């Protein structure tokens, strides 16, 4: 195990650089083939086409049990999370390998976030929040692979995730605090005359939570991917000047990697905030 890490530490910079250059060359070649191969490049890419659900293994109609491309990429994301955690925790080396470092960092990151934002007694629910974070971050990252499908860009997927959090937190609040959970809506520090008005606002903002939670994630991911495709369309239309939009695509892609992580983080951090409200509904 020790020799393995030494070896990778010595060789990393050179081999990574080589792989990077090879990937870049591959991307250029694929792009040229794509531009030459399509009849009317300007019109061949519609930015919203990538979000269309299709049956993954042939066929046209989508029934209740059809395996769609969304289901396939959801499954791949789960598989990737499993692989990351299984491979990452298998070695348990004192000097961690790269995969183990990633697994440990992800665990420590979410653990600290739950503890800081929601408090120590919220750590009982850490497994669910960690699962949520890993799933969202992994679907986002896998969705960044060209020609793949992003389940988190579908409002249906994010609504289910957000509703699960919303219902769980509401039930938890009533189970833990009983009727005094409703004190969340009754701002006792405000003047008495203001309290009914504030209660209306608080109730509204409470029920709006799943809406904003789901549409924030889906909207950010969808907008980012659509912008990528729009720039790709520019590249097709410009011919020899396509270098400029390609550089733009590279920059936006980097931004999208950041956004993928940040949106997963924001989703889980807001889950922690809601969890804190459920566990300690004092206003």
Partner 1 sequence: MEGDIANLGQYIGAGMGALGAGIAALGVGNVAGNFLAGALRNPSAAAGQTATLFIGIAFAEALGIFSFLVALLLMFAV
Q: Closer to partner 1 by CB, 182 or 266: give it.
A: 266
Q: Closer to partner 1 by CB, 211 or 255: give it.
A: 211
Q: Closer to partner 1 by CB, 229 or 242: give it.
A: 229
Q: Is 269 in contact with 258 (CB distance < 8 Å)?
A: no
**Total interface residues for partner 1 by CB under 8 A:** 15
CB count within 10 Å of CB 132 equals 18
| Smallest separation (angstroms) from partner 1 to the CB of 171 | 23
Which residue of 211, 244, 250, 255 would you call a contact of partner 1, by CB under 8 A?
Answer: 211
Residues in 86-145 that interact with partner 1 by CB under 8 A: 113, 116-117
Residues in 213-232 that interact with partner 1 by CB under 8 A: 215-216, 219
Q: Does 198 bind partner 1 (CB under 8 A)?
A: no
Residue 9 Cα to chain centre, angstroms: 30
Q: Closer to partner 1 by CB, 219 or 248: give it.
A: 219
Binding pattern for the stretch 264-283 against partner 1, x by CB under 8 A and - elsewhere: -xx--xx--x----------
Q: Does 212 bind partner 1 (CB under 8 A)?
A: yes
| Smallest separation (angstroms) from partner 1 to the CB of 212 | 4
Q: Closer to partner 1 by CB, 125 or 142: give it.
A: 125
Q: Closer to partner 1 by CB, 199 or 270: give it.
A: 270
| Smallest separation (angstroms) from partner 1 to the CB of 269 | 5
Which residue of 32, 95, 201, 208 would you call a contact of partner 1, by CB under 8 A?
Answer: 208
Q: Closer to partner 1 by CB, 4 or 212: give it.
A: 212
What is the DSSP track for the chain? -HHHHHHHHHHHHHHHHHHHHHHHHHHHHHHHHHHHH-SSHHHH--TTGGG---BTTS-S---TT--BHHHHHHHHHHHHHHHHHHHHHHS--SS--HHHHHHHHHHHHHHHHHHHHH-GGGGGGHHHHHHHHHHHHHHHHHHTSTT---GGGSHHHHHHHHHHHHHHHHHHHHHHHGGGGGGGTS-TTS-TTTHHHHHHHHHHHHHHHHHHHHHHHHHHHHHHHHHHHHHHHHHHHHGGGGHHHHHHHHHHHHHHHHHHHHHHHHHHHHHHHHHHHHH----
HSE-CB of 154 using CA atoms within 13 angstroms: 21
- From the list 123-131, 143-151, 161-169, 212-220, the region that binds partner 1 by CB under 8 A is 212-220
**Interface contacts to partner 1, rule CB under 8 A:** 113, 116-117, 208, 211-212, 215-216, 219, 262, 265-266, 269-270, 273
């Amino acid at each position: 195990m020790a020799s393995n890490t030494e070896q990778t530490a010595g060789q990393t910079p050179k081999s990574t650089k080589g792989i990077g250059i090879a990937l870049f060359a591959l991307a250029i070649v694929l792009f040229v083939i794509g531009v030459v191969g399509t009849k009317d490049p300007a019109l061949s890419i519609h930015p919203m086409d990538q979000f269309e659900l299709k049956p993954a293994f042939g066929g046209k109609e989508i029934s209740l049990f059809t395996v769609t491309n969304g289901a396939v990429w959801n499954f791949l994301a789960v598989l990737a999370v499993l692989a990351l955690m299984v491979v990452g925790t298998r070695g348990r080396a004192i000097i961690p390998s790269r995969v183990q470092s990633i697994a440990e960092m992800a665990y420590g990151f979410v653990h600290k976030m739950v503890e800081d934002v929601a408090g120590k007694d919220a750590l009982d629910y850490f497994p669910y929040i960690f699962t949520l974070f890993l799933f969202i971050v992994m679907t986002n990252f896998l969705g960044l692979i060209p020609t793949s499908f992003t389940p988190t860009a579908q409002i249906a997927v994010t609504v289910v995730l957000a509703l699960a959090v919303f219902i769980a937190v509401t039930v938890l609040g009533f189970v833990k605090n009983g009727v005094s959970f409703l004190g969340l809506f009754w701002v006792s520090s405000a003047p008495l005359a203001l309290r009914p008005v504030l209660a209306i606002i608080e109730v509204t903002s409470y029920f709006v939570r799943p809406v904003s939670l789901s549409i924030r994630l889906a909207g950010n991911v969808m907008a980012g991917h659509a912008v990528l495709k729009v720039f790709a369309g520019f590249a097709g239309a410009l011919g020899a000047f396509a270098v400029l939009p390609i550089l733009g695509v590279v920059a936006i892609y980097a931004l999208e990697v950041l956004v993928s992580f940040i949106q997963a983080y924001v989703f889980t951090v807001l889950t922690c905030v809601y969890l804190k409200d459920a566990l300690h509904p004092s206003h």
